[in-house]
Homo-oligomer: A and B are copies of this chain.
Amino acid sequence: MMGGATITGATRLYAIVGDPIAQVRSPEVFTQRFAEQGVDAVMIPLHVPADRFDAIVPALLALGNLDGVLVTVPFKARMAAHATRVGVTAATIDAVNALRREADGSWTGDMFDGVGFVRGAGRKGERIAGRRVTLFGAGGAGSAIGCALAQAGVASIDIVDTDARRAARLVETLTRAFPRCAFITARGVRDGNDMIVNASPVGMRPDDGLPGAIGRLDPSTLVGDVVITPAPTALIRHATQCGCAWVDGRDMHGGQVDALLAFFAGAARAGNASAPDAAH
């Protein structure tokens, strides 16, 4: 059961901005977590009309009692320009989904969509480093996860997307940012790969199958899927049948909440999250 928050004049604010906003879950989830931690703060939804975004955001960031911002559709790319500085992941893919106010009043932004996946795997005791990955989907989620996996030390990432040019662009971007990881475009799962991640929308419709031609998997393969509902997705069912460990959209979301709370608390610099060291 969700507990309620008592809001006083001294309560600190975190906000999630989006258009539309009524569907977001973060106000409940974060307000509850703040209460559990004994932090006098709430997460409020802010409906920022898309056509007023660039006028409204600087005003919000000037509020004296707003300490953090989450960013959802359609603002993740546009918000990056409003950060004083951004972390490696955000700089690489030029999008942020969170900002925090620093002691000097400046704003640090970063992208945690992929970090949540890595943290979710970590919470299940799964090793990421050294894996050879096939990543389905080169959009926003795929880009963020590609960054996070490269930072977590995977050996290679093969990127599969129905839009071959989008896959090639992401290979180029990630290769520049993470020269020690091998990126290629691909059409399916390469022999010897031991991690498969779906960051495409395939699985969101009840009758969706697998995101690509994925055969029998070795039980050592780690399988991930960003799709939350309907659960389990065909890919997660397939992983279970093959005896593989898996990380689903729910795990990823839980991991991201942890990563965001650490970021808001200022602890991100020492943790798994990308360090905010790229000037913007």
Contact = CB atoms under 8 A, between A and B. Distances in A.
Given A2-B6, A7-B45, A9-B23, A59 B55 contact: yes
Given A2-B6, A42-B44, A45-B9, A64 B31 contact: no
B7 A5 contact: yes
Interface string A49-68: 10010011011101111000
Q: Chain A contact residues (Cβ within 8 angstroms of B): what range?
A: 35 or more
Contacts of A9: 16, 21-27, 45
A10 interface: yes
A32 B274 CA distance: 40
Nearest to A52: B62
Nearest to A43: B7
A8 interface: yes
Contacts of A23: 9
Nearest to A50: B64
A64 B52 CA distance: 10
A46 interface: yes
Contacts of A63: 46-48, 56
A47 B28 contact: no
A157 B46 CA distance: 45
Contact of A60 (B21, B45, B59): B59
Interface string A3-19: 11111111101001001
Nearest to A13: B44
Contacts of A19: 64
Contacts of A10: 22, 45
29 contacts: A4-B5, A4-B6, A5-B5, A5-B6, A6-B31, A7-B27, A7-B28, A7-B42, A8-B22, A8-B28, A8-B45, A9-B25, A9-B27, A11-B27, A11-B44, A13-B45, A21-B65, A42-B44, A46-B63, A47-B63, A47-B64, A47-B65, A49-B64, A52-B59, A52-B62, A55-B58, A56-B59, A56-B63, A59-B59
Given A11-B27, A44-B44, A47-B63, 11 more contacts: A2-B6, A5-B5, A9-B22, A9-B27, A10-B22, A10-B45, A13-B44, A42-B44, A52-B62, A55-B58, A55-B59
